[in-house]
Amino acid sequence: MSDAINIGMFGMGNVGKGVVQLLAKNKSVIEKRVGKPVEIKKAVVSDLKKDRGVDVSGILMSTDPDHILNDPDIDIVLELVGGLDVAETIILRALENGKSVVTANKALLAERGRTIFRAAHDAGGCFGFETSVGAAIPIVRTLRLGFAGDDIVKISGIMNGTSNYILSKMSQDKSGFSETLEKAQEAGLAEADPTLDIQGIDAAHKLIVLMNIAFNGVFDFSQLHTEGITNITAADIDYTGQLGYTIKHIGKVRKTEQGIEARVHPALVPRDHIMSSVNGAFNSISVFGEFMGPANLHGLGAGPGPSAVGVAGDVIEAARYILTGQQRPVSPFSIPLEEWRPIDMVPMGRIRSEFYLRFNVLDHLGVLSSISKVLAENRISVRSVIQKGVPSETEAPVDIVIITHEAMEADVQAALGQINQEPFMAGRTQLIRIEPD
Ligand SMILES: NC(=O)c1ccc[n+]([C@@H]2O[C@H](COP(=O)([O-])OP(=O)(O)OC[C@H]3O[C@@H](n4cnc5c(N)ncnc54)[C@H](OP(=O)(O)O)[C@@H]3O)[C@@H](O)[C@H]2O)c1
């Protein structure tokens, strides 16, 4: 065995550079904790000419995957490339070649989890994916180990820092979505292409990873109802604030008598709810177990520093297995491979929620009673109504805000389908679900 635990790193972008810096700065403490030096021996990137902005003098760089995958001295392969095809090939080949693998790739695990986890199970090495959800927040390890004795009934939380930053800033500055997104991009808190974050896809990937662990099955990403924050307006933030709510982008899954209900969307959260005070780029994930009740993990869910800590934790765990000769740890899920099975989610239409509905209408006589009638015909009962804006001679549209009692999603969608056809409607109806607990 070599004098060090040798790492081969694929990708040296935001996360990879953080890992390089962390392993250099904390070299001696990590050596103490592992019992041997942990060193990045090789790295594979796509552009060798790029200035990395970190000290890579001791690292052999290449663009050839075999540089790492065929090197028998590499113990642990880090997949920090992202995306699907290239990352999948790297992970599968590394596992086949007997390496331990650490990845931060939530997209791959959520969309191709069956292939990846099966390969990880069949391989001899460790498979770490802590950083894929919440970066340094140890939610994966906590669900796999700490809470493995309990029956998890619900997970909910803020799982995307960029969306949370934008919503917090919109609320603080009373600004609109587009201008706030631009400021987030200028501040380096949103990607140049922010699609995965603002469309809710990143949070949806993370929720699927957590569901797979917590509910002992393999969930189909394409079944997960996913909405982002792009339709949230300054008016919604204002009105919901007056009603005692904060708008947050949440991922939520719960076990019900109908089955597993899961969704990712913006939600109204009561101002005294734990999620309401989570601002900026922070993540906050609550887990509810039958025996343990609620537990909450909170912290920065992205960025080079937190992500590097998540990766380093997995590296250290793998190094300890390697050094103690334990080649096959327990399944990367909470259950043995034989128990893995696809689990269908409850269709979104059958999920019940309370709703915030904002109708942008021409202020004609009888509009409110027409809306109320359609809602009642679709079994939706109204908890409160607020009319915003003053009728004027210019006939500028006004907002009618309705908070409903709990209603079935399909009924609400059917009612909105009818109401949106009415001649008094001036704009798109806003629908935001209310997160009661
Ligand atoms: N950013 C975060 O805060 C964060 C947090 C948690 C999880 N993650 C996950 O971590 C992963 C990496 O994210 P990131 O933000 O670090 O991405 P990134 O900044 O875009 O870096 C990607 C790296 O992969 C390299 N690369 C691209 N194609 C390659 C190929 N075919 N072969 C080898 N290397 C290749 C790039 O090389 P060049 O530099 O030469 O172009 C770059 O160094 C993703 O799965 C992401 O979801 C990110």
| CATH number, domain with residue 205 | 3.30.360.10
pLDDT at 312 over 70: yes
Pair (146, 281) in one structural domain: yes
**Known catalytic residue at 206:** yes
Task: Give 66's DSSP letter.
Answer: H
* Rounded (5°) CA angle 92-93-96: 85
Kindly state whether residue 181 falls inside one of the protein's structural domains.
yes
Give the DSSP per-residue string, 352-391.
EEEEEEEEEE---TTHHHHHHHHHHHTT--EEEEEEES--
Tally of CB atoms within 10 A around 339: 11
- Please give the tally of structural domains in the chain: 3
Pair (144, 265) in one structural domain: yes
Question: Choosing from 206, 248, 255, 388, which is the catalytic residue?
Answer: 206
Pocket test for ligand 1, best of 307, 309, 311 (most atoms within 8 A of CB): 307
* Rounded (5°) CA angle 81-34-331: 60
CA 198 to chain centre: 11
Pocket test for ligand 1, best of 20, 21, 45 (most atoms within 8 A of CB): 45
Residue 225, token pair as written in the block: 């109802």
- Ligand 1 center to 17 CA (angstroms): 10
The range of the structural domain enclosing residue 242 comes to 140-300
Cβ burial of 129 (10 Å; 0-12, 13-18, 19+) is buried
- Ligand 1 center to 21 CA (angstroms): 16
pLDDT for res 378: 98
Q: What's this model's pTM, rounded to 2 decimal places?
A: 0.96
Kindly state whether residue 74 falls inside one of the protein's structural domains.
yes
pLDDT digits (tens, 9 = 90+) for 231-257: 999 999 999 999 999 999 999 999 999
Task: Give 407's DSSP letter.
Answer: E
Kindly state whether residue 150 falls inside one of the protein's structural domains.
yes
Q: Which residues pair with 127 in a beta bridge?
A: 101
Please give the number of the atom of ligand 1 that sits closest to the Cα of 14: 16
- Ligand 1 center to 146 CA (angstroms): 30
State the average pLDDT over residues 177-195.
92
pLDDT digits (tens, 9 = 90+) for 318-347: 999 999 887 665 667 667 777 788 999 999
What is d(CA 7, CA 108) in angstroms, rounded to the nearest whole number? 21
- Ligand 1 center to 238 CA (angstroms): 37
Pair (184, 57) in one structural domain: no
Q: Are strands 282-289 and 293-300 parallel, antiparallel or unpaired?
A: antiparallel
Pair (166, 266) in one structural domain: yes
As for ligand 1, residues whose beta carbon falls within 6 Å of it are: 10-16, 44-47, 50, 80-82, 86, 104-106, 131, 135, 302-303, 307
- CATH number, domain of 15, equals 3.40.50.720
Pocket test for ligand 1, best of 48, 54, 69, 80 (most atoms within 8 A of CB): 80
Instruction: Please report, as a single letter, which amino acid is at residue 63.
Output: T
CA 260 to chain centre: 18
Residue 182, token pair as written in the block: 């631009």
pLDDT at 364 over 90: no
Q: Are strands 407-408 and 352-361 parallel, antiparallel or unpaired?
A: antiparallel
Report the share of the chain in percent with pLDDT over 90: 86
**Which residues, 6+ apart, have CB-to-CB distance to 401 below 8 Å?**
239, 243, 356, 357, 358, 359, 385, 386, 387, 388
Q: Which residues pair with 339 in a beta bridge?
A: none
pLDDT digits (tens, 9 = 90+) for 90-117: 999 999 999 999 999 999 999 999 899 8
Pair (25, 117) in one structural domain: yes
**Which residues, 6+ apart, have CB-to-CB distance to 368 below 8 Å?**
385, 387, 400
To the nearest 10°, report the CA torsion of 16, 17, 18, 20.
Answer: 90
Pair (290, 428) in one structural domain: no
**Nearest CA to 138 among 271, 302, 310?**
310
Tell me if 140 sits within 8 A of 213, measured CB to CB.
Answer: yes
Pair (119, 181) in one structural domain: no
Pair (360, 394) in one structural domain: yes
Please give the number of the atom of ligand 1 that sits closest to the Cα of 17: 16
Residue 421, token pair as written in the block: 């056809």
Task: Give 338's DSSP letter.
Answer: G
Pair (230, 169) in one structural domain: yes
Q: Are strands 225-226 and 218-219 parallel, antiparallel or unpaired?
A: unpaired
Nearest residue (CA) to ligand 1, atom 47: 105
Kindly state whether residue 341 falls inside one of the protein's structural domains.
no
Tally of CB atoms within 10 A around 293: 10
Kindly state whether residue 344 falls inside one of the protein's structural domains.
no
- CATH number, domain of 417, equals 3.30.70.260
Kindly state whether residue 155 falls inside one of the protein's structural domains.
yes
Pick the range with the lowest mean pLDDT from 165-179, 197-211, 392-406: 392-406
What is d(CA 230, CA 196) in angstroms, rounded to the nearest whole number? 12
- Ligand 1 center to 90 CA (angstroms): 13
Pair (228, 194) in one structural domain: yes
Please give the number of the atom of ligand 1 that sits closest to the Cα of 82: 45
Tokens 């380096």 sit on residue: 188
Pair (407, 355) in one structural domain: yes
Kindly state whether residue 343 falls inside one of the protein's structural domains.
no
Q: Could you give the count of Cα atoms lying within 13 Å of 200 in the half-sphere of its Cβ?
A: 24
Pair (332, 367) in one structural domain: no
- Ligand 1 center to 82 CA (angstroms): 5
User: Which residue, of 312, 336, 360, is where some domain finishes?
Assistant: 336
Cβ burial of 251 (10 Å; 0-12, 13-18, 19+) is buried
Nearest residue (CA) to ligand 1, atom 8: 104
pLDDT for res 327: 66
Kindly state whether residue 249 falls inside one of the protein's structural domains.
yes
